[in-house]
Amino acid sequence: MSSFVRISGWGKCLPSRILSNHDLEKMVDTSDEWIRTRSGITERRVTPEGEFTSTIATVAAREALERAGVEADELDLIILATFTPDYPGLPATASLIQHALGAHNCGGFDLAAGCSGFVYGLVTGSQFVLSGTCRNVLVIGAETLSRVVDWKDRSTCVLFGDGAGAVVLSATEHEGGLVSSVLGSDGSGFQHLIVPAGGSRHPASHETVENRQHYIKMNGREVYKFAARILPRAFNESLQKAGLKAGDVDLLIPHQANVRIIDSARESLGLDREAVYVNVDRYGNTSAASIPMALCEAIDEGKVREGSLLAMVAFGAGLTWGSALWRWQG
């Protein structure tokens, strides 16, 4: 058994191509004004040809390992949260990352929980460390959403972006780390955010391709209502479990889907603007990558210090949600 788990390293990868709202105006019937006022997004990243989820994930992972001072062959486990794997199901993209890193002594698997994937991965990886099963676990959230959005569907293509973020979880005697967590799912809403074809229910066929069923379909209004309700609820539940209150949290890092969802949660929770991290304006919704990317930036900007209490709260397809309270050990 290890006494505590610590985030010993962190890293991110921003794909090089920037796609602005003005670029999108030339592709679909939309406007910079609509996108900014409805979502808060001004630009997003797109993965260039020849790169995939595994390659951007590997860049983020290398940075995290270097910061942690952990060699690849000291890793015991790789958890990749994604719904845009290199291949649909086989092999797991985590294995490709394991090979690229030269992590010869570890297992790896992909974790599918939509945009909540990183929080699910963080909580899962922490259990392996806290139980003493692993000393070092790499948790990555990485997505190439540009490969699964329908570039003809203005209601979705303006919202999403690509990116990757990674953390190394290590066993430590230094008090802190995971304080409490909540993981939830309500599968009755599975149709609201979905890639309808390519799985066992609707295997790929000429028809599914013609009907554009391999792209993301989203019922934006339903997902919005769910997100605005669940974000404060999951946050509060994790606080209650720990016997803490909203004012004890130094920084809320919510899933970056829409600035209006974040603002409405902030207001209902009575949190100051500085207590909530926002970068959706620059990257759009990067699904499972959004929280680890935001965490990296918050650390780089000096917003996370020894003893800081962080709340990482996500929601997404499934429908799923997750909240993790984390005491930063420095």
Residues that bind ligand UT7 (CB under 6 A): 30, 34, 38-39, 115, 154-155, 158-159, 193, 220-221, 223-224, 227, 257-258, 261, 285, 316
Report, in Å, the least distance between residue 86 CB and ligand UT7: 21
The DSSP letter of residue 103 is -
**Minimum distance from residue 150 beta carbon to ligand UT7 (Å):** 12
User: Is the CB of 68 or the CB of 183 nearer to ligand UT7?
Assistant: 183
Question: Residue 9 or 165: which CB sits closer to ligand UT7?
Answer: 165
d(CA 282, CA 293): 11
Select 196 or 220, whichever has its Cβ closest to ligand UT7: 220
For ligand UT7, the closer CB: 9 or 316: 316
Annotated active-site residue in 13, 115, 157, 296: 115
By beta-carbon distance, which residue lies closest to ligand UT7? 220
Two structure tokens written together for 35: 């996108």
Residue 285 DSSP symbol: B
Using CA atoms, how far apart are residues 204 and 321, in angstroms rounded to an integer? Answer: 29
285 catalytic residue (yes or no): yes
Pairing of strands 136-144, 77-81: parallel
Catalytic residue among 255, 258, 279, 296: 255
Instruction: Confirm if 162 and 62 have CB atoms less than 8 A apart.
Output: no
Q: Is residue 255 annotated as part of the catalytic site, yes or no? A: yes
Q: How far is the CB of 282 from ligand UT7 (least distance, A)?
A: 16
206-215 long-range contacts (CB < 8 A, ≥24 apart) are: 212/150, 212/152, 212/153, 214/148, 215/148, 215/149, 215/150, 215/153, 215/156
Q: How far is the CB of 290 from ligand UT7 (least distance, A)?
A: 8
Active site residues: 115, 255, 285
